[in-house]
């Protein structure tokens, strides 16, 4: 027979049983909450270890090339910076010298460093010493060529229309103009219009600069000779060439061929230099005017000289002959300089070529 427990014992049993139930229920809830937290957090990862990368900055000390006195110090220069970046920071410290006017040298008697040089390639230690030279007032290459070629075009036309302030008005109205005078004006204008259009649309000129004094020298040379040439050819007393129409025709044909050849060579060089394939010497194309690359390394100078020699034969004028002679000397010097650079870069392909004129130069 089961005995009914007494009231106090029954209350104790109920309290103990209720306490156990409440503890079990709380443990279940805590475990459920913890599992939900783990699932919502995803995979537990250890915090990443932060790696502190140390960047070495350079300090550029700029000294005057004459007195060796310190002008300024450009600090915190990153290794990826170029010399042009250093010039811009130098310009901020010294506003009177803008970047194109600043010439920097690694040695006092050394060459000027190019703007594209990486500053890290010059570093021996964290401090780089450069020597500063004021290059004077600068102009862009596009401005240089446009000014140099626009002057002869306009000056020749002023002489062609025979202004009363240049020639005697009575002689200008009486004398008949030989057809070669009109042909010479056409050829001369064509030559400089081609130069202007190629400067704008063909040649990919860099963003570099040149001293203003160089532009003044070039303008004085071209403008002065153009005035002398135009004065003689457009003079009312000008006499035609000795062999008449035949001499003028052959010379004019040679002039036009040289102008066409010069243009096609410049187009080929522009395409070669900016098409991404710089590993080989410029090669001739299907165009016959470019076949001169097989004989000389600078055919553009060959055609330029040919144009002025043809113009000299066509007009039979002493000033044109003197100008053509000077152009031959100048072009040959430029061709020799360029030929030496080609020999360093493309020796197997250039070693049997002449610089400008086969056999002679």
Do residues 107 and 131 touch, judged by C-beta distance below 8 A?
A: yes
Q: Among 219, 239, 259, where does a domain finish?
A: 239
- Of 150, 154, 255, 268, the C-alpha closest to 199 is 150
Q: Are residues 71 and 115 in the same domain?
A: yes
Residues of the chain below pLDDT 70? 1-55, 174, 207, 273-279, 359-361
What is the DSSP-derived secondary structure letter of residue 118?
B
Q: Among 239, 265, 283, where does a domain finish?
A: 239
**Is 39 within a domain?**
no
**Is 202 within a domain?**
yes
**Is 192 within a domain?**
yes
Do residues 273 and 329 touch, judged by C-beta distance below 8 A?
A: no
Distance CA 69, CA 214 (A): 29
Q: Are residues 297 and 322 in the same domain?
A: yes
**Is 16 within a domain?**
no
pLDDT at 275: 47
pLDDT at 351: 78
Q: Among 136, 153, 177, where does a domain finish?
A: 136
Total domains present in the chain: 3
CATH number, domain containing residue 70: 3.10.20.90
Q: Are residues 132 and 165 in the same domain?
A: no
pLDDT at 271: 84
Q: What pTM value is reported for the model?
A: 0.77
pLDDT at 1: 40
Rounded to 5°, the CA angle 334-340-341 comes to 95
**Is 52 within a domain?**
no
Q: Are residues 296 and 270 in the same domain?
A: yes
Q: Are residues 110 and 141 in the same domain?
A: no
For the chain, what's the residue count?
A: 361
Distance CA 70, CA 51 (A): 38
How far does CA 153 lie from the centroid of its chain?
26
Residue numbers of the domain that contains 275: 241-360
Do residues 115 and 84 touch, judged by C-beta distance below 8 A?
A: yes
Q: Are residues 89 and 99 in the same domain?
A: yes
Q: Are residues 105 and 197 in the same domain?
A: no
DSSP 281-342: -----SSGGGGGGGTBS-HHHHHHHHHHHHHHHHHT-HHHHHHHHHHHHHHHHHHHHHHHHH
Q: Are residues 103 and 141 in the same domain?
A: no
Q: Are residues 330 and 350 in the same domain?
A: yes
Q: Are residues 78 and 94 in the same domain?
A: yes
Q: Are residues 167 and 78 in the same domain?
A: no
Plot region of 58 (φ>0 → left; ψ -120 to 50 → alpha; else → beta): beta
**Is 299 within a domain?**
yes
pLDDT at 276: 45
pLDDT in tens, 94-117: 999 889 899 999 998 888 998 889
**Is 17 within a domain?**
no
**Is 27 within a domain?**
no
pLDDT at 214: 93
- Cα separations (Å) of 96 from 64, 88, 93, 99, 130? 15, 12, 9, 10, 18
Q: Are residues 257 and 353 in the same domain?
A: yes
């Amino acid at each position: 027979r089961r005995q009914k427990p007494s009231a106090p014992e029954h209350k104790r049993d109920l309290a103990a049983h209720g306490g156990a139930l409440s503890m079990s229920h709380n443990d279940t809830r805590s475990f459920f909450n913890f599992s939900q937290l783990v699932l919502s957090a995803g995979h537990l990862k250890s915090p990443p270890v932060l790696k502190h990368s140390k960047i070495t900055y350079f300090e550029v000390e700029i000294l005057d090339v004459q007195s060796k006195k310190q002008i300024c110090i450009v600090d915190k220069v990153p290794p990826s910076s170029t010399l042009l970046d250093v010039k811009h920071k130098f310009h901020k410290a010294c506003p009177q010298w803008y970047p194109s006017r600043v010439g920097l040298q690694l040695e006092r008697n050394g060459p000027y460093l190019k703007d594209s040089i990486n500053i890290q390639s010059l570093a021996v230690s964290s401090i780089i010493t450069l020597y500063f030279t004021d290059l004077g007032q600068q102009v862009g290459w596009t401005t240089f060529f446009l000014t140099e070629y626009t002057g002869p075009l306009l000056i020749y036309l002023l002489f062609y229309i025979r202004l009363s302030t240049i020639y005697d008005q009575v002689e200008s109205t009486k004398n008949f103009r030989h057809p070669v005078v009109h042909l010479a004006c056409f050829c001369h204008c064509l030559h400089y219009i081609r130069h202007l259009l190629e400067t704008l649309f063909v040649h990919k000129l860099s963003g570099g600069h040149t001293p203003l004094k160089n532009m003044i020298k070039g303008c004085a040379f071209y403008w002065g000779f153009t005035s002398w040439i135009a004065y003689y050819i457009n003079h009312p007393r000008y006499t035609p060439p000795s062999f008449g129409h035949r001499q003028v025709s052959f010379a004019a044909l040679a002039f036009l061929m040289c102008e066409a050849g010069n243009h096609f060579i410049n187009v080929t060089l522009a395409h070669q230099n900016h098409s991404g394939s710089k590993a080989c010497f410029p090669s001739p194309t299907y165009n016959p005017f470019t076949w001169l690359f097989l004989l000389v390394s600078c055919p553009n100078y060959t055609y330029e000289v040919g144009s002025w020699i043809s113009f000299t034969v066509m007009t039979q004028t002493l000033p044109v002959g003197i100008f053509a002679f000077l152009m031959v000397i100048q072009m040959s010097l430029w061709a020799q300089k360029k030929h030496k650079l080609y020999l360093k870069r493309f020796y197997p392909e250039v070693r049997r070529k002449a610089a400008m004129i086969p056999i002679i130069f």
